[in-house]
Amino acid sequence: MKTMNFNKIVMVLLAFVVATSCVKDDDFDIPNLNIDEPNINAEDIIQIPAVAGELAQSDEDQVTYSETGKFMVGYVVSSDEGGNFFKQLILQDKPENPTVGIKVLVDVSPLFVTYEVGRKVFIKLDGLTVGTSNGVLALGVRGEQRPDRIPFPKREEHIIRSADVATIVPKPLTIEQFSMANTNLMIRLTDVQFTRSELSKTFAAEPNDQFDGERKLEQCSNSRVVVLSTSTFASFKGVTVPEGRGTIDAILTRDFFDEFYTIYLNDLTALNIESSERCTSTNCGLANAAGPNELFADDFENQTINTPISGNGWTNFIQEGTEPWEAFEDNGANQSLGISARCGSFNSGDDSTISWLITPQIPLSNANNATIQFKSSSSFADGSEMEVLFSSDWDGTPANITNATWRVLSDARIVQNNDFFGDWIFSGLVDITCIEDNGYFAFKYTGSGDSNFDGTYEIDEIIINSF
Amino acid sequence: MKKNTLTFLFCIFVMSLIQAQEATVKGRVIETNSGEPIPNVQLSIEESIYNTTTDANGIFTITDSNLPLGEQILLVEKSGYITLRFPITIQSGSTVNFDPLLMEVDFADAQSQIGFISLADDELDDDDGSSTNVSGLLQASNDVFLNAAAFDFSATFFRPRGLDNANGKVLINGIEMNKQFDGRPQWGDWGGLNDVQRNRDFSMGLTPNDYAFGDLAGTTNIVMRASQYRQGGQVSHAFANRSYQGRAMGSYSSGVTANGWAYSVLVSRRYGNEGYVEGTLYDANSFFASVEKIINPSHSLNFTAFYTPNRRGRSTAITQEVFDIKGNQYNPFWGKLDGDIRNARTREIEEPVFMLNHYWTISDKTRLNTNLGYQFGKIGNSRIDNNGTTLVTFNGQDTYVGGARNPEPNYYQRMPSYFLRFENPTANDYQNAYLAEQEFRNNGQFNWENLYLANQIATNGGKNAVYALQEDRIDDTQITANTILNTILTSNITLNAGLNFRSLKSENFASIKDLLGGTGFLDIDSFAEESIDVDAGDIAQSDLRNRNRIVQEGDRYKYNYEIDATVVGGFAQAQFKYRTIDFYLAAQGSQTSYQRNGLFENGYFPGERSFGKSEKLDFTDFGAKGGLTYKVTGRHLIDFNAAYMTKAPGIRNSFSNARQNNDVVIGVDSEKIQSADLSYIYRSPIIKARITGFYTGFEDATEIGFFFTQSFQGQGFNNDAAFVQEVTTGIEKRHLGGEFGIEAQVTPTIKLKAAGSLGQYIYNNNPNIYYTSTDFDGPKTFGDGTTKLKNLHLSGGPEQAYQLGFEYRDPDFWWVGATTNYFSNGYVNVSKLRRTDAFTTDIDGLPFNDFDETIARGLLQQEQFDDYVLVNVVGGKSWKIDDYFVGFFATINNVFNQEFKTGGFENSRYSDYRKLVEESNRDTPIFGSRYFFGNGTTYYINAYFRF
């Protein structure tokens, strides 16, 4: 066989084989991901407040849309990228200065890979149900008592992405401004820090953290506290909370049992520590022991029942309404501790009841390891509330009470509406060593003659010690 | 008395004189059409012990003073050629000379090629935890039973004698091709070379092979030497709907030229966008070249190289639930991207082989064959990595955001069963299950665009890719050297001996194959869970020496280690052939060593635990075997073989978690094997039959599995869920059974055949088992540290298989055949965890208080698959046009489109009594067993042209 001939044969064989069909190779280009703006008539687009209003006007717990042809527009503010949200998208009506937000329940995880923060989306409402879930406005499919998640096969039908991705400007709020109207919004708290007792804890990886780790965050201006909740599935659950103070962007919502306001982070980039210096606080945690020196004590046994509390340095001040703090004694089901103090607006007819019971000035500047303790009880508290406050800049005159800076003593356990009305709740031995100045402790009652806000709060056995 | 003695002695003398006169049968065998001599043709005088084979020039001689005289039948056989029976008359002192003796290529040989094709092409993945590999011994041979196993039983992973292909040896030009990793030959390395792989020396079972000690399931030596190919060429094209859609092949061989050179080349291409199973793309090219110089009659030097890059889309075992919705062609791994099918799990094999072979004929009785082999390249398996994250450093602490879920469409949380998992489903649950079912039915494929979209969003947000296409790579570089001596000591005794050396460096790592539009991928384990005293930022690191590295396409990540393996060995074998008895004895010894060298310092296993060199594992092994064939008469033979051997475990079963650390398997040891078989063979001009009983016992076998489980109770960590390595050692297995084959040439054109196998392949003890994981410290065991496997069946094809068939061969060059095959007694691969005390252990480490033994027995009952019948048809025709041949053949498998399960395995995710009771109470389990389903009706048609 001649080599020439041989080469020829090889060439023919190669040509024969190469000429046959080819298979798609593995070099795939990035597909075209451009989004065409969905073609929805402007008159079919409704805002989140309209959806909220629909529920508010209904007698039902859930309102289902059908054959309306309507689409709700909103901007995504939540992200499950950090694992802190699960199968829900929080939408608000506008990227800036939002007014209403809504939680959209959808059985898909993760969602950040499709709906990033700022993404404008249209929600096809027909087939969906608006209601309340864990205390906040929610959209999903009709469930037995509250909306359920939109099934994953229905996701693309109901959640339609716009090409628009906006920059979300968090809404500045203070903790005292928290209200239902602000839930499901991206808010910003400025000058906040974790309370002293939370320091050295992780966000949600402590042994007793179940479902969520709950950490108290206080506002420097008045030591008012909000709970920052972090899922135990969050990727940053094991990070230790920072000591310094700064700004936090988070989503305001209610806790799982709808008992209090709480905020959730998308991830830690939303927590911006601006200073390592901690600010003044009245939230020092709990102490192990009370000292031998009694700085102040009152069990109200020297008071006259059914008359306002007086003497022993007390300032009894009605800021609004008609109801003072008064002494009482009850030996029935709602037993007092001998003679106790109480304040309530039941049958008061008040538009608003705000009453203060303030201790004399307590000499804390030289006190060692001071503590405060008391007991509290309530009856039909409903929407009325009692706070324990501290001020070091009040001058002692009733006229200036409202001008002074009152900080919240949030480590003190105060009776909750769901505690049994006959029980007296111990405050705990509240550490007040972080208070460096002399000042006044106040029990502030807030209520009204409205039957939803006309509860009664009772206090007793107030003792302040030091070593 | 004395006289009688004298007469007797005289008679003896005369007889010996007469017998001393030698008779000779000799000749030269050539191919009818080409006139080329045919080597390795087997010739025998029927009903006698006399046999021989032709040499390279087709020449043979049978000469002996004891040849049976008178009218005899000379049997001329060679695989791939039509068997001839010549009536001859042998006379004392005379010579019968056939020159030439014409042999014709059997166009039914094409059929044997199909058997081999489907074997090489369909070899399945074993990374699903199953071991449904077909046996290495499937190939065309003269044995009726093995032919049935190769052509008709292979579709259902029937394994002769229950042996897996790691129990058979494949050699090419005398060089062992089984991988050190798992002992299995990597068929993909020589796929598509069919035309140049027809010369094979196959030894069934333990029977002796001239090139190696061999193994239980037989030894095949594929001869790929330029001088051994006849001059001429062939082009062919095949169409099919099995693993590929088409195959084009062209080959040409020069034959030995006058100046002693010989060349052979082949190119082929196999292609298909999908096979029988959806999305299983096939893209394979094959190149082969061999050149040989016959230097002189004593020395010949051959060089052979082949390169068969191939890329295939994989499929997987599916649950009954998935099968019921999507059928047996469903494959969750693919989806459309820009109109093309893209499979997320592809396998690419590119391992070219180069060989230098020296053949030295030292004398006419002694030959020495010395070989040098070099192989390098890669095996890559791709998959989606859905855990891409971005580092967020907060206050000096590392955290990671991102990570997504398994994007596969059959992920359990997308299945209807998941929505009905609670005891009393609500109306909404049923609605969701219905929607999930509809979604899966209509939209059950991979969504590539979602992955690109996620990465686009990540990129826009300045973050790393969430998804990437990962490739798990094994890059081997191997050098093999061996030398094989073959010497005929006396006319009755042949001696074979060999020495071999193998050195392997195996690099194992993951790399990024495609970032899917992302900018980079963060190399950390996002599943790392910190505990109080360990920082997630540390344990999450794939490489502590290169923290929080962002990798690009082509970069190694996740794990990176080398294995150095060395094997030195030798064998010696003596074969004795006498008038009524042939027997052989063989022995081998070897030394195997493995060492891991970690190139990444894994965060879970800092320091030497993962980085640098591991303990060096050494295994010293030996084996001995022997056997005999007793020829009762020429028609009746008894064959017996027995062996005892030890075998070093493969690399895979020596390191318990090689991807992450240097740990060696605790109690790792060589496997001990004892095996014996006894056959009765009957051969007459009309009937060929064999019946065999066999036994093989394995001891000290090791198996390693990897899986996620939620049934790890009572081990002192929080949620009983862990990704574990399951290490089982000291496994004893027993293979016991019988097989038969019978074929009858009832007329010159019609052949009837029957074959069958009945076996019982079981675990023979309760082996030791332990678990390791990054979720807990140290090895953990349950109860007495064993898993209760004794008497459970091994998985891997049906234990019983029977065939009835016929062939019709028309004198007018066409033929047709059909077989009916019945299979039964296939068993699911059992979960070992379920058979440990984890099954009965509650979270406090004590037994479940509601344990009911009767219910438990039901839960642990090993599933037996339904039996089934497959009908296969094959036929072909050929024409001779001038000096050329044109022909085609076609097969249709599973003519009646029978649905059947070829194998399956239990899911260990739920392995405890309580969860399994819950599962059994569900209409459809969430984590049900996964099954391999057989193909429906498929065809294969091949047309060829020879010149």
Q: Say if strands B493-514 and B556-577 run parallel, antiparallel, or are unpaired.
A: antiparallel
Look at B392 and A236 and tell me if their CB atoms are within 8 Å: yes
> With b meaning 16 or more CB within 10 Å and e meaning fewer, what string describes B126-149?
eebbbbbbbbbbbbbbebbbbbbb
SS3 of B40, please? coil
- pLDDT tens column, A408-462: 998 999 998 888 888 999 999 999 998 989 999 999 999 998 888 899 999 999 9
pLDDT classification of A19: cutoffs 50, 70, 90 = low
Residues 6+ apart with CB under 8 A from A230: A84, A203, A204, A212, A213, A215, A236, A237, A264, A265
Please choose, from the candidates B532, B585, B547, B462, the residue with its C-alpha nearest in 3D space to the C-alpha of residue B207: B585
Distance CA B652, CA B15 (A): 64
C-beta of residue B239 within 8 angstroms of C-beta of residue B246: yes
Closest C-alpha to B300, from B221, B197, B223, B202: B223
A194 touches chain B (CB under 8 A): no
Contacts of A205 in chain B (CB under 8 A): 530
Rounded to 5°, angle at Cα B468 from B464 and B470: 135
- Region of B159 (left: φ > 0; alpha: ψ -120 to 50; beta: rest) is beta
pLDDT at A16 over 70: no
Contacts of A450 (CB under 8 A, 6+ apart): A383
Which residues of A fall within a CB distance of 8 Å from B272? 23
Does B250 contact A17 at a Cβ distance shorter than 8 Å? yes
Task: Work out the average pLDDT over A287-298.
Answer: 92
Element (H, E) at B322: helix B320-326
Q: Which two tokens stand for residue B593?
A: 């060593």
CA distance B267 to chain A (A): 6
Contacts of B276 (CB under 8 A, 6+ apart): B241, B242, B243, B329, B935, B936, B938
According to the model, what pLDDT value does residue B769 have? 96
Taking Cα atoms as reference points, which of A62, A67, A164 lies closest to residue A116? Answer: A164
Residue A397 CB neighbours (<10 A): 11
Read off the tokens for B504: 């392997």
Question: Does the CB of A28 have a partner CB in chain B at under 8 Å?
Answer: yes
- Binned average pLDDT, 10 residues per bin, chain B of 947 residues: 49 45 83 73 79 82 81 81 79 81 65 44 38 39 77 80 88 94 88 84 87 91 89 88 88 89 93 90 93 93 95 92 95 92 93 96 91 96 94 88 91 94 90 95 93 94 95 97 93 92 97 95 82 66 94 96 97 91 95 97 94 96 95 88 96 95 95 97 88 97 94 80 94 96 90 94 96 89 94 91 91 87 95 94 87 93 95 87 83 93 92 94 94 91 86
Whole-number pLDDT of residue B92: 79
Which residues from B are below 8 Å from A8, CB to CB? none
**φ and ψ at B631, to 5 degrees?**
-95, 95
Measured between beta carbons, which residues in chain B are less than 8 angstroms from residue A141?
428
**Chain A residue closest to B440 (CA)?**
A153
Q: Tell me the DSSP string of B846-858.
A: SBPTT--HHHHHH
Residue A316 pLDDT greater than 60, yes or no: yes
Q: Minimal CA–CA distance to B842: which of B930, B712, B749?
A: B712
Average pLDDT score over chain A = 91
Q: Find the closest chain B residue to A25 by CA distance.
A: B283
Rounded to the nearest 10°, the torsion over CA A144, A149, A155, A161 is: 120
pLDDT over 50 (residue A22): yes
Strand partners, B718: none
Q: How is residue A419 annotated by DSSP?
A: S
Q: Which two tokens stand for residue A311?
A: 């003497």
Which has more confidence, A200 or B716? A200
Helix (H, G, I), strand (E, B) or coil at B132: coil
B248–A16: do the CB atoms touch at under 8 Å?
yes
Cα A48 to Cα A104, A114, A126, A177, distances in angstroms: 11, 21, 15, 21
Residue A118 to chain B, least CA–CA distance (Å): 11
Angle at B440 between CA B434 and CA B446, to 5 degrees: 155
**Nearest CB to A23 within list B235, B273, B431:** B273
Structure tokens at B198: 């027809």
Dihedral angle sign, alpha carbons of residues B222, B225, B227, B230: positive
B620 touches chain A (CB under 8 A): no
pLDDT of residue A31: 87
Of A20, A116, A269, Cβ closest to residue B246: A20
Instruction: Find the closest chain B residue to A34 by CA distance.
Output: B453
- Residue type for position B208: P
> According to the model, what pLDDT value does residue A9 have?
67
Put simply, the answer to whether A13 touches B250 (Cβ < 8 Å) is yes
Q: Is B336 exposed, middle or buried (0-12, 13-18, 19+ CB in 10 A)?
A: middle
Rounded Cα–Cα distance for residues A161 and A157 (Å): 10
How many angstroms separate the Cα of B414 from the Cα of each of A142, B407, B433, B440, B912?
20, 10, 9, 8, 24
Q: Is A20's CB within 8 Å of B245's CB?
A: no
Q: DSSP strand E in A49-87: where?
A: 63-64, 71-76
Identify the three-state secondary structure at position B60. Answer: strand
- Chain B residues lying within 8 Å of A31, measured CB to CB: 337-338, 448-449, 452
State how far the Cα of A211 lies from the Cα of A256, in Å rounded to an integer: 10
pLDDT exceeds cutoff 90 at A35:
no
Q: Could you give the angle at the alpha carbon of B724 between the alpha carbons of B721 and B725, nearest 5°?
A: 170
**Do residues B795 and B130 make contact, with C-beta atoms less than 8 angstroms apart?**
yes
- The ipTM estimated for the assembled molecules is 0.86
Q: How far is the alpha carbon of A28 from chain B, nearest alpha carbon, in Å?
A: 8
